Amino acid sequence: MKKTAGRSKPAQPKAAPRSMARSNASREATAGPVGNGQTAPAPKTAGAPRAGRGGPRIGVLALQGDVIEHIKMLQGIGAEAVEVRTPEDLARVDALIIPGGESTTIGKLAVEYGLDRAIPSRVKEGMPVYGTCAGMIALSKEAQNGEPPLLRLMNITVRRNAYGRQVDSFETDLNVPALGSPPLHAVFIRAPVIEHVGADVDVLASLGGKPVLARQANILVSAFHPELTADDRVHRYFVDMLNRKN
Ligand code: GLN
Asked if residue 39 belongs to a domain, the reply is no
Q: Is there an atom of ligand 1 within 6 Å of 160 CB?
A: yes
Asked if residue 38 belongs to a domain, the reply is no
Report d(CA 210, CA 222) in Å as an integer. 12
Q: Is there an atom of ligand 1 within 6 Å of 101 CB?
A: yes
The percentage of residues in the chain with a pLDDT greater than 90, rounded to a whole number, is 72
Asked if residue 153 belongs to a domain, the reply is yes
Cα within 13 Å of Cα(216), Cβ side: 19
pLDDT(39) > 70: no
Asked if residue 183 belongs to a domain, the reply is yes
Work out the pLDDT band at 154, boundaries 50, 70, 90.
very high
Report d(CA 162, CA 62) in Å as an integer. 25
Report d(CA 205, CA 224) in Å as an integer. 11
Give pLDDT, residue 33: 33
Asked if residue 40 belongs to a domain, the reply is no
pLDDT(74) > 90: yes
Task: Tell me whether residue 133 is one of the annotated catalytic residues.
Answer: yes
pLDDT(10) > 70: no
**118 neighbors 97 (Cβ within 8 angstroms):** no
Q: Is there an atom of ligand 1 within 6 Å of 107 CB?
A: no
Report d(CA 89, CA 207) in Å as an integer. 35
- The reported pTM is 0.80
Task: Spell 33-46 as b/e; 16+ CB within 10 A means b.
Answer: beeeeeeeeeeeee
Quick one: which atom of ligand 1 is closest to the CA of 13? Answer: 9
Report d(CA 167, CA 33) in Å as an integer. 41
CA of 150 to the centre of ligand 1 (A): 13
CA of 60 to the centre of ligand 1 (A): 17
In the sheet with 202-207, reading across from the earlier edge strand, the strands are 80-84, 57-61, 95-98, 129-132, 219-222, 210-216, 202-207
**Ligand 1 pocket test, candidate residues 69, 70, 105, 190, most atoms within 8 A of CB:** 190
pLDDT(53) > 70: no
Asked if residue 35 belongs to a domain, the reply is no
- Coil, strand or helix at 228: helix
How many distinct structural domains can be found in the chain?
A: 1
Q: What is the pLDDT of residues 82-99, one digit of tens each?
A: 999 999 999 999 999 999
CATH number at residue 184: 3.40.50.880
Inter-CA distances, 101 with 25, 66, 142, Å: 16, 6, 18
How much is the average pLDDT of 56-65?
A: 97
Asked if residue 17 belongs to a domain, the reply is yes
Asked if residue 92 belongs to a domain, the reply is yes
Report d(CA 218, CA 97) in Å as an integer. 12
Q: What mean pLDDT value characterizes the chain? A: 83
Going through the chain in order, the beta strands assigned E by DSSP cover 57-61, 80-84, 95-98, 129-132, 140-144, 154-159, 170-174, 184-188, 193-197, 202-207, 210-216, 219-222
Ramachandran angles phi, psi of 72, nearest 5°: -65, -40
**CA proximity to 214, closest of 157, 167, 145, 148:** 157
Q: What is the pLDDT of residues 184-243, one digit of tens each?
A: 999 999 999 999 999 999 999 999 999 999 999 999 999 999 999 999 999 999 999 998
Q: What is the pLDDT of residues 15-27, one digit of tens each?
A: 333 333 333 333 3
Quick one: which atom of ligand 1 is closest to the CA of 161? Answer: 1
Q: What is the pLDDT of residues 102-116, one digit of tens each?
A: 999 999 999 999 999
**CA proximity to 194, closest of 148, 141, 233:** 141
Q: What's the domain range around 90?
A: 2-30+47-245
